Structure 1
Amino acid sequence: MMRKQENRMKEVVQNMPISTEEMAVAAAGIQEELEAYIDPVKKEYLPRFFKTGKGQYGEGDKFLGVVVPNTRLVAKRHKDAPFGVMAALLRSEWHECRLCALLMLVERFRKSDEKSRKDIYDFYLSQTARINNWDLVDLSAPGIVGEYLKDKPREDLYRLAGSPLLWEQRIAVVSTYTLIKNNDFIDILRLSEGFVAQDACTSVHAPEVPRNAPPLHDLMQKAVGWMLRELGKRDKDLLVQFLEKYCTVMPRTMLRYAIEKFPDEERKGFMKR
């Protein structure tokens, strides 16, 4: 009974009307908590690591210099904040503020009932324009999109995969990590086929990937290869079947990531094809 009352109180707090000004003030308070963890060395290093220079994938992103474990500490303290506060954080120019909002969502999702999970899932997908670097995707998509879709239709994965936006494509692929861990391999195989087709312009084609799509971004090659590698940890024979069919047209980076755990001779054999 006490647990139900606590959950109900959290739901009331999350759904209380809150003005735009109040949301901004709350988000600013969370940013101040993050700023208490600033590491000057990280502040200088992170923009280079996340490729924020002109023409790079993270162009223009700004970093406070806070490491992920400390961002996670702040996120756990505020996981029950209203969506409006999280949206304000996601609009921030600071990378760590956006990450904090996403970790807040992951933490809340983990402890929510089905109705609340649907709300979190819908909110997350409404904010994909602000989930705009690989770490933001990788630290949130499996725990929200992947978890939510474990027992549901997967149309959203294919919609995201067909997006022209790099980060929506990555959300689609990395979300399958949760499915793979549950021995559900259908979607990563289908998505991988589509992305191979996108890059190779072969007759291999999945309808969710446009035929006139540009060559596959390096970060997507790595993401697909990574998920295929995770599949291979659980069913190597299935991965080998996929590679035997597509290794000659797969992007080399994707293939290299997929076979990273293979014995040396087997790995070299695939790379020579």
Structure 2
Amino acid sequence: MPEDGRGAAADQAAQILSELCAGADEAERIRIRRRLPEGLEALGVRMREVFDLAARWEKRLESPRGLVPELLRCPDYERRMVGVSILDFRARRRLDQGQREELADLYLDHHDQLSVWDLVDRAAPRVVGRYLMEGLGPEARRKLLEELADSADPMRRRTAVTATFWMVRQGELDDALHLAARLAGETSERVSQPVGTALREVGKIDQERLVAFLREHGERLQRVTVRYAVARLPQPVREEFVPPRRR
């Protein structure tokens, strides 16, 4: 990025910081800080205010390519959340595939800054998942998802899984089931929980495929994955995989 463009983005990021600090609360800062990794600061702003601010800024931007990377490099959680929220709000618009690719690239190129699970969840379905489904063929889409799913970084693995949420909502179940099988031995709850969520959403569309998947792979899945996966199944079917507790 040209120096003057980076300077403008830095000025905008500073303005966003000022707007966030105006709504900061110490009790909220302490609450948020408890769940953040070491080195990431919290300002103490409630998420509704963060999302409202992001929506206002997204409407002002001709393109997010300058501001969003600047926000994702910020030392505080809230400005990073503004950054991914701007991507999410932009992805809800009518865009051509070049524009969707730009959003996905902004997200993936700065993935190291997405060190908290909800930064991933805020944007991965619409920004990554929609681009992959509408912009790539099945083989290219599967390859990128597998690369993310095989990463040593659990947040990248979480991106792979949550990106399939968009696909499942459109009735495309194959990638979600493929990744769930690939990540069946996952030990990080940051990944095994959304795998269960993806399976649950598959079951809303095709209960028989979900049940068949659980019968084939259930023994390898984490308990949390199975609990989430069966949450919407009829009780007799659910109890096949999660027996009721004895009183």
Q: TM-score, normalised by structure 2?
A: 0.88
**What displacement does 1:190 show?**
0.5
For 2:183, what is the secondary structure of its paired residue?
helix
Per-residue CA deviation, residues 157-180 of structure 1 (Å, 9 max, x unaligned), is 111111111111000000100000
Aligned pair 1:93/2:79, yes or no? Answer: no
Question: How many residue pairs align between the two structures?
Answer: 234
For residue 66 of structure 1, the aligned residue among 37, 45, 51 is: 45
Identity of aligned residues (%): 31
Aligned pair 1:266/2:237, yes or no? Answer: yes
Which sections of structure 1, spanning at least 5 residues, go unmatched? 1-14, 53-57, 200-214
**What displacement does 1:100 show?**
0.2
**Aligned residue in 2 for 1:251:** 222
Aligned pair 1:231/2:219, yes or no? Answer: no
Per-residue CA deviation, residues 41-64 of structure 1 (Å, 9 max, x unaligned), is 21121122x2x3xxxxx3333211
For 2:219, what is the secondary structure of its paired residue?
coil
Q: Match for 1:76: what amino acid?
A: A
**Aligned residue in 1 for 2:163:** 175
For residue 114 of structure 1, the aligned residue among 97, 102, 106 is: 97
Aligned pair 1:22/2:22, yes or no? Answer: no
For 1:83, what is the secondary structure of its paired residue?
coil
Q: Match for 1:118: what amino acid?
A: E
Q: Match for 2:239: what amino acid?
A: K
Distance 1:160 1:18 in 2: 34
Distance 2:48 2:161 in 1: 24
**Aligned residue in 2 for 1:77:** 56
**Aligned residue in 1 for 2:152:** 164
Per-residue CA deviation, residues 70-110 of structure 1 (Å, 9 max, x unaligned), is 11111122221542321111011111100101111122222
Which sections of structure 2, spanning at least 5 residues, go unmatched? none
Distance 2:4 2:206 in 1: 49
**Aligned residue in 1 for 2:107:** 124
**What displacement does 1:264 show?**
3.6
Q: Match for 1:143: what amino acid?
A: R
**Aligned residue in 2 for 1:216:** 187
Judging by fraction of residues, say which structure has more helix. Answer: 2
Distance 2:97 2:126 in 1: 14
Q: TM-score, normalised by structure 1?
A: 0.80
Distance 1:75 1:220 in 2: 27
RMSD in angstroms over aligned alpha carbons? 1.9
Distance 1:166 1:249 in 2: 18
8 A Cα contact 2:64 2:87, kept in partner: no
